[in-house]
Amino acid sequence: MAPDVGAGRPVLTVDVGTPAGTRVLVVSAHPDDVDFGAAGSVATWTAAGAEVAYCIVTDGQAGGSDRSISREEMAAIRRDEQRAAAKEVGVADVTFLGFPDGRLTPSLEVRAALSRVIRTFRPDRVVAQSPERNWARIYASHPDHLAAGEATACAVYPDARNPFAHPELLAEGLEPHVVPELWVMATERADRAVDVTDAFGRKLAALACHRSQGTDGGHLEPMLREWMGSTAVAAGLGEGRLAEAFHVVATA
C-alpha cells in the first residue's frame, strides 16, 4: 500500500512520539495488512514502551495462489504467519475474529465483535484501514479493507462507548470505553507521519513472515523504500529517512 501524499493532500506533520504505556489497538481485514500499512510505526511504538495489540477481522483463507492448499489450511497458515510477524515488531496480543475472507461487510455482528475487543483491551488509540475507496491506488481499497475500516470507525464511535449499543457486551461485564484517537492507514487524507527509519528492518522482517503471500523475497524492499522515502520527504524529514502516514481523527 503506497502512502497517499502529494499535491492537493493535507500537510504532513511529524508525530512527536507515543508515550510509554500508551495502549494501541490495530485492526485490519487480513493477516499482513498491518505489516504493509503500519509495522514500522508499531515497532517504533513498542520500542518506546507502548502496548500494542492486533485484531484481524477475517480468517485470511482467500489469500495465496496455491490451489493444492485447502482453504482451512490456508487460514491456519496465515494465523501462524501473523503471530510470527507480530513478534518481530514487539506484539504478543493477536485476536482473530474469523469472519470469511472476501465476504466482509460492516455488519452489526462485525461491529459488536470489534466493540468487544475495544472494551476488553481499552486502547488509547485505534489504528484502522480507510473506509473510503482510493481510486488512485485501488489495491489499498480491497472491499474487505473498506468494510473493516467502516466497522472499526463505527465501533470506535459510537458503539464501544455507548452502554446501550450491543447490550450483550454489558451482560458479559464489558463496560463502555471511549477511544480518544482513530488513526487511519492508506488514505488520501493522511496528515501525520511517523519516522520509522530505525524500525525499517523490523518491518521487513514482519513482512517476510507472510511467506504464503510471497512477501519473503527481496522485491518489496526497494518499493517500500521509494514509498516511505516519499512520505518522509513530504513530512519534511529529508532524504534518506523513511516514514508511514496516517489520518489522525480526534474522537473524544
> For 161, which DSSP code?
G
What are 175's three cell numbers?
Answer: 463496560
Q: In the CATH scheme, what is the homologous superfamily, with its name and number, of domain 19-250?
A: LmbE-like (3.40.50.10320)
Specify the pLDDT at position 63. Answer: 86
**In the chain, domain spans:** 19-250
Angle between helical axes of 200-208 and 71-88 (0-180°, round to 10): 160
With cut-offs at 50, 70 and 90, classify the pLDDT of residue 8: low
Residue 1 has a pLDDT of 47
**Percent over 70 (pLDDT), the chain:** 96
| Whether 120 contacts 173, CB under 8 Å | no
Yes or no: say if 193 and 15 are a contact pair by the CB < 8 Å rule: yes
Longest CA–CA span in the chain (Å) reads 53
Going by their DSSP bridges, the two strands 23-28 and 51-58 should be labelled as parallel
pLDDT value at 136 more than 90: no
Q: How far apart (Å, rounded) are the C-alpha atoms in residues 46 and 6?
A: 29
Environment class of residue 84 by beta-carbon count within 10 Å: exposed (0-12), middle (13-18) or buried (19+)?
middle
- What average pLDDT does the chain have? 94
pTM: 0.94
